[in-house]
Structure 1
Amino acid sequence: MTNTSLTFFNEIHREALNAFYLPQEQEKFTAMPNEALKKCEEDSGRQPVVIEANGKTVGFVVLHKGENIRDFTANPNAMVIRALSINHPHQGKGYAKVAMLQLPLFVSKHFPEVNELILAVNFKNDLAKKLYEKVGFVDRGQIKPGPVGPQYVLHYDL
């Protein structure tokens, strides 16, 4: 497997993230990195994280904690994973899976108070749901409305 790592967003990543491309059928399920970065600048509870492989920026994800995740959970020590995407030319190479496997350790290292990871995945996004379950996220039957229909809420205890 390639050398894949997670790192906090830095200005050196902006150009690659602004050049992100996702097909329309994927784009409806996630925020593009440039949109997600704007939200991170407005909400200090959102931390942008870059997925790098062999020195290239291949993906993006936002780690979100604080009051603005209460529609997911009442757990004050939970963190929501948002806006996960892999740039289309880099898809199918296992980067999302490796990044998701690395996230629990990354979060524990940088946010030791966090004891649960949560994410929402659209009912129609089967591929993503299978990936999240394969890396250990659990469907506890919680469903929430989303921008393009109902979403499964998946949990990962740290």
Structure 2
Amino acid sequence: MFIQSKGTVSLDFYKEEYKSKLSHYHLSKEQIRYAPLPLNAILKCENDNTRYPIVILCNGVPAGFLVLHGWEGVKAYSNNKDAILIRGYSVDTTFQGKGIGKKSLLLLDSFVKKQFPSKREIILAVNHKNTVAQYVYKKGGYIDSGVRVMGRKGELFILHKDLI
């Protein structure tokens, strides 16, 4: 399913045709601390049918990536079985600073509603030191739930957005 915004940003489930561009995906050293490269995340998705790799496109070119994870991912952060978890969210350094992050997060609402109609909430965990990501998520409408969880790399803030 392909969801496109009025601008140039769109979301699509990962397809083999995106692999070549994603193999040249770049994140800074700081960003790699918090998010895997897409091809590594896709390998995990291939072994877990509750993970769905999503490509963020800018003018049809892979510009970002995320994984939507069902209950197996959600249950570490919430008891809401009607939630879906964002994990591994990133935008390639080449495309950063252009509003793609915010646009993709806003598009994600309609994408999840259409593709996962039973889901009523989107949640995510963000490292307390990752202030840039926190800023982007909040611009995308995510709210701090007040829940804190200790992750492998430190304290995580759990953010959420209700789907109306």
Interval containing the TM-score (normalised by the shorter chain): over 0.9
Cα drift, residue 35 of structure 1: 1.1
TM (normalized to structure 2)?
Answer: 0.92
CA distance in 1, matches of 2:12, 2:73: 23
**Gapped runs of 5+ residues in structure 1?**
none
Look up the equivalent residue of 1:107 and give its one-letter code: V
Look up the equivalent residue of 2:65 and give its one-letter code: F
1:47 to 26, 48, 52: 52
Cα drift, residue 2 of structure 1: 4.2
The equivalent residue for 1:72 is 77
CA distance in 2, matches of 1:4, 1:102: 8
1:5-84 residue pairs with structure 2 within 5 A?
5-84=10-89
SS state of the match for residue 54, structure 2? Answer: strand
**Gapped runs of 5+ residues in structure 2?**
1-5
TM (normalized to structure 1)?
Answer: 0.96
In the alignment, structure 1 residue 110 sits paired with structure 2 residue 115: yes
SS state of the match for residue 97, structure 2? Answer: coil
CA distance in 2, matches of 1:67, 1:29: 20
Deviations 1:102-148 (A, max 9, x none): 00110001100000100011111111111211221111210111221
SS state of the match for residue 34, structure 2? Answer: coil
CA distance in 1, matches of 2:125, 2:162: 15
Look up the equivalent residue of 2:60 and give its one-letter code: G
CA distance in 2, matches of 1:135, 1:91: 15
Look up the equivalent residue of 1:148 and give its one-letter code: K
CA distance in 2, matches of 1:59, 1:133: 18
The equivalent residue for 2:3 is none
The equivalent residue for 1:91 is 96
Look up the equivalent residue of 2:109 and give its one-letter code: P
CA distance in 1, matches of 2:67, 2:137: 15
CA distance in 1, matches of 2:29, 2:109: 29
Cα drift, residue 67 of structure 1: 2.9
Deviations 1:57-89 (A, max 9, x none): 111110010234211111111100011111111
Measured on the aligned residues, the alpha-carbon RMSD in Å equals 1.2
CA distance in 2, matches of 1:67, 1:58: 27
More displaced, 109-118 or 58-67? 58-67
CA distance in 2, matches of 1:5, 1:47: 16
Number of aligned residue pairs: give it. 158
More displaced, 109-118 or 125-134? 125-134
SS state of the match for residue 151, structure 1? Answer: strand
In the alignment, structure 1 residue 135 sits paired with structure 2 residue 140: yes
The equivalent residue for 2:9 is 4
